[in-house]
Amino acid sequence: MSIKFETKKTTQKVFWVGFVSFAFIFGGLYTCIRLFFDNDFSFQESQYFTYSIYLVIYPLFFALILQRNAKASLLTITEFQKIDNFKKKLLTRVRKFSITETQVNDLYTFLPTGFFKKLHNNWYETEKLIIEFKSDEVTVTGPMSKVSQIQDTLTWNKDFK
């Protein structure tokens, strides 16, 4: 069995949606803290730096982390015909990820069931796992964490030797 692992580039949409979301979260957090602890909400020159940290630096940092973690991966599996019931074994392993499944011919699409995973999938389209079976190869496309788990299973599990 031959396995080829690739990472895809992320889109700028993930960064910008994350940046704006985190700017609202941290800006609102800073405003609530200021309103709770200070009766006077007037800005002084020394507070502009603190406010810029909450509106720019923190959202930028977390948006970059989000963009890094939202990368999709592509796993191409060839020479798998020697393994008995490869398709059934692979689908059994993937179904353990607690995700819902839809099937069209030999194209299987798995979607997350958790609230935050669904939210990320709706915003960034990053949590969808697609497995396509062809006669000579199998392609797995999806989030890096899930595709990496599948790669580890194929590499180290005795059922796939």
Q: What is the pTM of this model?
A: 0.72
What pLDDT shows up at residue 34?
Answer: 76
What pLDDT shows up at residue 76?
Answer: 92
What pLDDT shows up at residue 43?
Answer: 60
Protein fold of 2-8+71-160:
Double Stranded RNA Binding Domain (3.30.160)
Query: Structural domain boundaries of the chain?
Result: 2-8+71-160, 12-68
What pLDDT shows up at residue 122?
Answer: 66
Give the pLDDT means over successive 10-residue stretches in the chain (161 positions).
Answer: 83 87 86 74 64 83 86 87 84 82 83 75 74 90 86 83 73
CA–CA distance from 100 to each of 64, 70, 112, 125 (Å)?
29, 20, 6, 15
